[in-house]
Every structure is written in C-alpha cells, then in structure tokens.
Chain A
Amino acid sequence: MAKTKKTTTATVGIDTQNDLAGIEVAGLSQGQIVRKRFFRHRGALVSMIVLAFIIVMAFTSVGTQVAGLRIGGWWPFSWDSTPPVIDGGRPSMWLLPFTVAFTDGGLSFAPAAITFGEHPFGQDEVGRDIFALVMRGTQQSLMIMVIVGLLATVIGTVVGAVSGFYRGWRDSVLMRFTDIVLTIPVIVIGAVLGRRFGIAGAPVLALILGLVLWTAMARLVRGEFLSLREREFVDAARVAGASDARIIFRHILPNAVGVIIVNATLLMAAAILLETGLSFLGYGVQAPDTSLGKIISENQAAFATRPWLFWWPGVFIIAIALCINFIGDGLRDAFDPRQRKMPSEKALAKAATATRTQQSPAGVPVVVESLPETEILPNAIAPAEDRPLPDPTDPPTGGEPGPDDAPGSGR
C-alpha cells in the first residue's frame, strides 16, 4: 500500500504524514489495517462502548430466562414481579441539580436533589418495575436482532455467492426469486409471517424475519462476486487447479467480507426497527414474551397519564439502533481501501501558515497514492483530523481521479 509521495514541507515528520494520509508503511495485515482505521472512527468507538454497556446491563441486571431456567440478576425487581405502586408509579430518578418549569414569563428553575430512587424508570399501573421490564425487552430485542442478522447474512451470502459465482441459469433463478421477494415491502411480508409465527415465541419470529430480510444482502454479495471472479488472482487460482469451493471460500469470500460485515450490521439495525414496528402493529412478539416494541404498543393508551412507560423503551430502541448504525459506518470506513483521511479547511489553513516560510511551490498537488478520499456513504461523523497537511493548495474535495464505480455499496 505504501507509495512515495511528494512533500513540500520539512516541518512535518514522515510518520505524521503517513498517519494522516492513512498510508500504512509497515507491513500490516488486512485485519490490523481495518482495526486501526475502525478505532480511528470516534463515533463507532463510542457506539461500541455504549452498546457493550447496554448489553451487559440488560443481561446482568434482571438476569435472564432460558428454556424455563431462571438466572437472577443484581436488580431487586424482576420483570414479572409486582411490587406496590409508589408515588403513582412516577420515575424516582432525577439527574439534574435543578427542576425546570415553563411559566408564562419564561422558564423558571428550582433547585432539586439528584436522586436515583427505588424505581428509577417508574412503574406501570400494576406496579411492575419499568427498568426491569425495559431490560427484559432489550434482551429479547437484542436476541431477535442477532438471530435475524446472522440468518439473513448467511442466506444472503449463499444466494449472492452462488448466483454471482456460477452465473447462468442459477443466477437467473435466484435473482428472479430475490426480485419477487423484494417486490413485497418488508413490513408487509413481515406482518403476514409474524401473524402466523409470532405466537410461537420470539426466537421463532426472529428466524422467520431472517428468512425475509436477506434480499438486499444477496444482491450486494452477488455484485461483489461478479466483479471479483473476473480478477487475475481468481484466474491464477483456477490455473493452479483450485476447486470451485476453494476459490469461493479462500479467494473470493475474504475479499468480499467487508461488504458482508458492513451490511450485516445495517441489517441488524433494520431488524430491530422491524421487530419493534411489527410488535407495535400486533404481529410481532406476543405475550408472555415481551420486547421493546411490545412495551410501547401496550402502553400507548397510557401515554397521556404515564409517559415514562413510553419514553424508556423508545430511548433504548434508538440507542441500540443508533449504536449499530454508527458501528456499521465505522466498519464501512475501515474496510474501504479507498478511504483516506482528508484534513479539514482549518487544518489546511494551519498548514498554510506553517509552510509560508518554507516557500512551497504553489499549485503542486500532493499525490496521495493517486486515490483521494472519496466518501462512499455516511461517515463524516469522525471529524477530520486537525493535523497539518503538507500542501495547502490541494482542495478538500480533491481534484484527483476518483474510482469509477457507483457510490453506495451499502444499503
């Protein structure tokens, strides 16, 4: 990956330059490069920590129940215990040192204590602790998300790989079938299947949803395989006598893994929203199971009187989906070999003042591997590094030739 590059300043060390241009000089493995780039994406990193925190909290706080076996947690209440209702079930948690009230003249503040209390998220009308309920719902939603993500990824990858690698009649048949499934909106087919299988429990529902959501993945993997199978290294492997299976698994699949992983995360984000949407419509998880969407759906009527029944499940849905979207975005950046950091205008200006004394020949663009950063999809949350670039005349959007394939390898 390393290439020579013109530099017009002596003030910036080689290491910094390589670092900021995203060029790995030392022989790093693909995994190392990806990891390094991923950890540079601040949004993704923070999201990963938050998601890990949510997962740990959901499973340790109220424990879990697998096939009738109940494992307890550190939270005093369980999602099915009904302690007496305190203070009308109002949340006992208050995290600001003051209270805010809207009055006629404007806002008024009054001092208040930061408290956590016995039922931080409140209670519902029969006294069930909302924190415990939401944690249980989070567990279920996370489980559904993971099952759907894995199953849909496997099916989509197999279908896409077979049709992209073998082409011909297999491709026609599989892709026409994909088109057929794709014609039906996800929520519609999900509702129809959920009506039949939702009653069988959350894991079954998850499997069924996995059977619905693979279509986009199949198309993407097929596209990836179609282009990869024409590459020289595949020809070389075939000349060397490799079997189809070996070519697929050892040569093509590792090169397509970026697309697959990125879309698997996005699929999971879609899955959690689909599950909650279906549960809301009544075609998703059925009682006695619960999920975040089901809690919202059950308490919709109580919104005017007990809004906290409604707030917390929603907040957790958003937090999980947001984290996964950000992680997917970070992975996309990390796996994209064309991705290069571009310094911000501020950094350019800083570099300009730094190099003014160095008499840099203006107008000479810096050749960074002849491939500038071309943003493929959402990724700009990671702020451009505020480091100087050697030559300030290179515009941020670059004038370099970009790759010619269509944008949007995702979604």
Chain B
Amino acid sequence: MASFILRRLAQSLLIFIAATYLMYLLVALSGDPLQDLREGNAPNKEALIAARIDLLDLDVPPYLRYFIWLGGIFGLTGKGFGWLGVSVQNQPVNVLLGQAITSTLQLVTIAALVAIVLGLIVGITTALRQYSAYDYGVTFLSFLFFSLPIFWVAVLLKQYLAIGFNDYLRDPQIPWWFILIVSPIAGAIWSSIIPGSTKRRWITFGVATLATAGMLGYMQLTDWFSSPHIGIAGIIISAIGIAFGVTALSVGLKRRRALRAALVTAAVGIGMYFLFMYVLSYFINEWLLLVLGLVAVGVSYAIGWFMGGDDRKPVARTTAITGLLIAGLTVLDRYMSVWYVYSNSGRIKGRPIATIGSQTPGLEGSMWVHGVDLFAHLLLPTIALILVSFATYTRYSRASLLEVMNQDYIRTARAKGLTERTVVVRHAFRNALIPIATIIAFDIGALVGGAVITERVFGWTGMGQLFQNGLDKVDPNPVMAFFLVVGGLAILFNLLADLLYAALDPRIRVS
C-alpha cells in the first residue's frame, strides 16, 4: 500500500512539474510584459524598461526562465526555500499569496463540503425514490444548474438575494399569504420524498404542511429574522429528533440499547447546552472550540461504549454522531445569538448580507461576531459556486446508487431478510461511494476555476485576483503561485480519492 502511494505521488509530481512548465510558457508568451512601459511616455522610459528586465530576468527566454523560477522554489537562488519570485511591482509573491490564499481556500473548502453533503443526500434520496415527482424535479433542477453561467447567477444573487433580503430585514414580516402558499408546497415535497401508501402520503403531507405553517407562524410571532435563535425548546426537540434519526440510520430503531444510549447522549448534550451558552463560550477561541468539539465527540463515544453492551462499536458510533450534531447545533445557536448585535453594529448598519469582499474591515467583536461576519460574506459566493458541483454530485450519486441497487448481491441481501436500511446503508451506499470519490476529486480543479469568476463578481481579494492581475501584466510569477496551489489541490484530492478507493473497496488490490 505504502509503495503504491509513493509511486502515485511520484507520478503525480512529475506530471505536475510538467504542467507548471507548460503553464509558465503559456503565461510568459501570452503578451508583452513591457507593453505598459513602452506605450507610456515617462522621461526615464529606457531606465524603467531596463530595471524591469533586470527585476524579472526578462533577458532570459521563457523556456529557460522557468528554471530560474523552479530553482527559486528549491532554494537555489539564495532567497530561501519556497521562494516564488517577485511581481512586476517588486512585491514578493510569497507575501501576495499569503494574503490571498486564506479567503479563497475558505470559500472553496466550504463550497466543496456543502456541495458534497447536499449532493450526496439529494442524489441518494432521488435514487431511492426513482421516478417520483421529487426525482423529476431534482433532475430538471440539476440540468438547469449545469447550464447556468456562474457569473450571471452571482450577479443575480447579489442584486436580488442580498439587496432584497437586506431590505426585507429592515422590517421582517412573514405575511399570511406566504405561509399559505409555502406550507402546502413543503408538504407536497415531503410526501413525495417519504414513501408509503396513499393514506400514509396524505398523513405525511398534512403533518409537513402543519409543521411548516407552525414554524413560519412561530418565526413571525417572535420576529425571528431580527434575532434568530434555536432556543432551549428547539435544542430539546432537535436533540431528541437527532437521537432517533441517527439511530434509525446507523443501527436501526430496533436496537433499543443503541436508542437508549443516543437518548442519554442527547440529554447530556442538552445539559451541556446551558453550560456552553452561558459560561464556556465567553472564554474560548477558535482552537478551544475545536478542542471542545473533540471532547464532545469523545464523551459521546464513551457513553455509547459503556452502554453498548455486547456489540459496542456501532452503538458508540451512533452516539458519537449524535453528540457531534448536537454540539454543532449548540454552536450554531451561539452564533445566532450575536446576530442582532452584529447586524446592528456601526459597521453593518442593518444590512448584514454582504456583496463585496471577504470580511468587514475594522469590525470589532468576539470570535462569534467574526464568525457571523464570515458567514455573511461567504453566503452568496458559496451559493453561486456550488450550483454546478451540486448538480454533478447529485447526478453521479443517483446513477451510481441505481447501478449498485441492481446488482446481484443486493438481491441476495434482500432475499436473506435484511432490512431495507441495512441493504441501502451498508450494502449499497458504501459501494456507490466509490465512483463518486473520483468525480469529486476531479471536480476540485473546476471548483477553484469557478472561484476565480465568483471572486471577481463579489470583489474578493483572493487567488482569483492574484491570477488575473498577474495575467493582465504578463507576469508569470503570481500566476504560477496561483497554479501551484490549484494544481497542488487537484493532485492532493486525487491522491485522497485513491486512498478512499482502497478504504472503501477491499477488492482493490494494488499491484
């Protein structure tokens, strides 16, 4: 296995280096780097040109200049290891990259995660409800998303979602006609997703409609959009729901022991909610939050382990997932609690959904306020960015699961009396994931490419800007820094996909 990884890594690195060579040549030959100086009429024109030639080694032809750049990365030019050269304005590219990389990686990572989670869930449910109205609807939507130009959507989102929603937030009312229209639609969607006889479908429809109407009514009565919250009641209901849901998916509700353990975890989680909301959260930073999250998972796992009885591992897994989800909800509620403070602070002035930039400059406040700020800035670019990926993942996971569900071993599993849950979750889902892993790894490059456009529309100073500025000035160094990160990501994800393959499919014997 190790030799396989090493060989794959070596192969990818060689290809990557060749790709950087190609890229460097293309950028260097894409125009005249001295054009602006030649066309200008500065009195010391000749001196300026000579200075730039000296700065960027323009007297060396590009196919050799590449090796100066490569040598810089390996520390051969005496500027230290990983030196990426200087830009036209004589700024070190390492510094430029350092400023740009955080916001872009944030955007791409979050977009990728959201797209994977949503795409898998929707893809799998459509495959299980093949040919339902829900399936057709999602299919049409994914075709539509395939065909949307990102920049067009981004501008629309900016205009209608951001500005419209900000206007709405000035006086957030949910009118009764909106509730009347939306509730039956929600009911219809749920009854299309959840299978059963006609009678059961109607019951689902009724319950979902009433629940939606109730929730919207509650939001209207409590002025929810001005000060969003989950609240202790919401946490209790969700925690119990999570305990049941995770148990049902993970081991099945018939395992009473697991259900009891999950409910105990939920109870502990509800108890921790008070401690966290009113005490702990005032004293921590991002890293401590991460540690607390790990502690939550660990404690939940331990609960499952001690209550699990004979077959501990699945129970412990169930409780660990339950604990993680409840902890996540608690943190979400904590973030929501500063929403009012955030949106009414002097910098925001009641228009929280941002359309420009990746953060509010000069914003003061706790880590919670900064978290909300990040969310408000990431919301629109992420939506614009995930549409295509979401469509891809949905289609592929649907096709993949359908393919698997037609296999002999699924019939065997059903024939020997396994429950539908076991068949789908344990036998089909795992195998359906294998081809999806490759698709996702391939898609990361496209995601970063999309980020270039999205960043431009939303005015982010990220990697997209680094790339564009470099390209406009025929300056290979910043462009290559951009490409190093993008290509590196692509190679990393391909490697991860290979590892995932081996983990998911024991048949893969690497030779």
- Give the chain B neighbours of A401 by CB distance below 8 A: 406-408
- Sample of 5 further A-B pairs with CB below 8 A, known A176-B15, A318-B152, A325-B143: A187-B449, A273-B149, A276-B151, A378-B143, A380-B131
Contact of B131 among A372, A374, A384, A407 (CB under 8 A): A384
For residue B147, CB closer than 8 A to chain A, the reply is yes
Contact of B406 among A322, A344, A400 (CB under 8 A): A400
For residue B130, CB closer than 8 A to chain A, the reply is yes
Contact of A188 among B136, B410, B452 (CB under 8 A): B452
Known: A317-B152, A344-B131. Is A408-B435 also a contact (CB below 8 A)? yes
Check if A189 sits within 8 Å of B399, measured CB to CB: no
For residue B487, CB closer than 8 A to chain A, the reply is yes
CA distance A325 to B452 in the complex (A): 24
CA distance A75 to B50 in the complex (A): 55
Check if B26 sits within 8 Å of A189, measured CB to CB: yes
Residue from the set B23, B405, B449 with the largest chain A CB neighbour count within 10 Å: B449
- Give the chain B neighbours of A322 by CB distance below 8 A: 143-144, 146-147
- Give the chain A neighbours of B175 by CB distance below 8 A: 105-106
CA distance A317 to B153 in the complex (A): 12
- Give the chain A neighbours of B29 by CB distance below 8 A: 196
- Give the chain B neighbours of A25 by CB distance below 8 A: none
Check if A183 sits within 8 Å of B491, measured CB to CB: yes
Residue from the set A176, A378, A400 with the largest chain B CB neighbour count within 10 Å: A378
CA distance A181 to B159 in the complex (A): 37
- Give the chain A neighbours of B31 by CB distance below 8 A: 195-196
How far in angstroms is the closest Cβ of chain B from A223?
13
Check if A381 sits within 8 Å of B452, measured CB to CB: no
Check if B130 sits within 8 Å of A397, measured CB to CB: yes
Stretch among A78-86, A154-162, A230-238, A300-308 lining the B interface: A300-308
Using a Cβ–Cβ cut-off of 8 Å, how many residues does chain A contribute to the interface with B? 66
For residue B363, CB closer than 8 A to chain A, the reply is no
- Give the chain B neighbours of A192 by CB distance below 8 A: 23, 26-27, 30, 471, 479
Q: Closest residue of chain A to B22, judged by CB?
A: A180
Check if B23 sits within 8 Å of A408, measured CB to CB: no
For residue B301, CB closer than 8 A to chain A, the reply is no
Binding site for A on B (CB under 8 A): 15-16, 18-19, 22-23, 26-27, 29-31, 130-131, 135-136, 139-140, 142-144, 146-152, 155-156, 159, 175, 177, 392, 395-396, 398-400, 402-403, 405-408, 410-411, 414, 435, 439, 445-446, 448-450, 452-453, 456, 467-468, 471-472, 479, 482-483, 486-487, 490-491
Check if B26 sits within 8 Å of A193, measured CB to CB: yes
Contact of B471 among A191, A303, A318, A372 (CB under 8 A): A191
> Which residues in window 366-411 of A have CB below 8 A to B?
372, 374-378, 380-381, 383-384, 396-402, 406-408, 411
CA distance A279 to B220 in the complex (A): 44
For residue A225, CB closer than 8 A to chain B, the reply is no
Counting from the closest, the 6 A-B pairs by CB-CB distance are A321-B147, A402-B406, A187-B449, A185-B449, A183-B19, A322-B147
Check if A406 sits within 8 Å of B143, measured CB to CB: no
Check if A296 sits within 8 Å of B152, measured CB to CB: yes
How far in angstroms is the closest Cβ of chain A from B293?
33
- Give the chain B neighbours of A411 by CB distance below 8 A: 392
Contact of A183 among B159, B403, B411, B490 (CB under 8 A): B490
How far in angstroms is the closest Cβ of chain A from B199?
14
Check if B456 sits within 8 Å of A281, measured CB to CB: yes
For residue A337, CB closer than 8 A to chain B, the reply is no
Digit string of A303-330 for contact with B (CB within 8 Å is 1, else 0)?
1100100100010011001100110010
Check if A196 sits within 8 Å of B177, measured CB to CB: no
